[in-house]
Amino acid sequence: MNENEIEGLIGIGLTLGILVLLALPSLLGHLRDRRIDRQIREAQEALDGERDQKSSSRSTVPSTATWYAEGRRSKKFVSS
C-alpha cells in the first residue's frame, strides 16, 4: 500500500466515525421512544383487563340528561 491509499483509508474511517457519532443520539432516542410506547401499551392492556373483570360495566357517572332533570326537579318556583 502506498501513501495515498493509507490516507484514503484514514479518511474513510474518520468519515464513518463522524457519521456514527452523528447518528447515534438519534438511534438511541428512537429506541427509547419504542420502549416507552411498549410500556404504555402494556399498561393500557393491563388496565383494560382490570375493567373487563369488574362486575358491572355501567358508568357510575350520571348522564347529562339525568343531571339536568334532577336540577329541574329540585328548583322551587316562586311566583312574582
Q: What is the pLDDT of residues 34-67, one digit of tens each?
A: 999 999 999 999 988 887 766 555 556 666 666 6
Note the pLDDT of residue 29: 96
Rounding to the nearest 10 degrees, give the CA dihedral for residues 6, 9, 15, 20. Answer: -130
> Quick one: cell of 77?
318556583
pTM: 0.49
Q: Return the higher-pLDDT residue of 12 and 51.
A: 12
Coil, helix or strand at residue 57? coil
The average confidence (pLDDT) of the chain is 82
